[in-house]
Amino acid sequence: MNRDNALELVKKYNNDESHIRHALAVEATMRYFANKYGGDADVWGVVGLLHDIDWEMTMAEPAKHCNVAPAILRENGVSEEYIRAVQAHGYGICTDVKPESMMERVLFTIDELTGLIITAGLVRPSKSLQDLELKSVKKKWKDKAFARGVNREIIEMGATMMESTIDEVIEGTIMALRPVEKEIGF
């Protein structure tokens, strides 16, 4: 599945603009980390786009999130490697598919982190990511009332799985999102 097909599929199953923007943010971050870790940026990017394909279908029943996706993806000819990654991003929340490959570990880690970083950028005087630095994200990170829906423990667990640090993951995600800020709601 190529990028155009993936984006078309995401839009077929998701109408809310914020959900499309989230898919694009996760795509850009996956591509960045693919390049950093020697993965295939096209594959990682498509997985990022598709990861929440069943989001709107399962909003009323969050336990089903990541569990309706496999059928949709198989119907559309998406390979099992991608499907496993999509399922593994819900590890410990709505699936018991443990992230194993680096692609799966990165997706698990950066999914919600993109939301925290975008929110941190939007509240800056510049309303931009271009001058958002690690230090200011770390301040927001420690403020539990800020982007309270973002589960810091999951992100920390993911960074450990990646054998990385939270600082490194935050810095990478900022760098990944800067070039696409216009597409993701800034």
Cβ proximity to Fe ion, 51 vs 178, nearer residue: 51
Cβ proximity to Fe ion, 104 vs 111, nearer residue: 111
Cβ–Cβ under 8 Å, residues 173 and 117:
yes
Residue 54 found at the interface with Fe ion (CB under 5 A): no
Q: Which stretch binds Fe ion (CB under 5 A): 5-13, 103-111, 127-135, 160-168?
A: 103-111
Q: Considering only residues 27, 54, 104, 111, which one is a binding residue for Fe ion as defined by CB under 5 A? A: 111
Give least dist CB 168 to Fe ion, A.
Answer: 21
What does the alpha-carbon distance between residue 132 and residue 124 come to, in Å, rounded to a whole number?
8
Give the HSE-up count for residue 179: Cα atoms under 13 Å, Cβ half-sphere. 9
Cβ–Cβ under 8 Å, residues 120 and 113:
no
Q: Which stretch binds Fe ion (CB under 5 A): 37-45, 49-57, 98-106, 140-148?
A: 49-57
Closest Cα to residue 46, out of 101, 90, 7, 99? 7
Structure token pair of residue 167: 């600082």
> Binding residues for Fe ion, per CB under 5 A?
52, 111
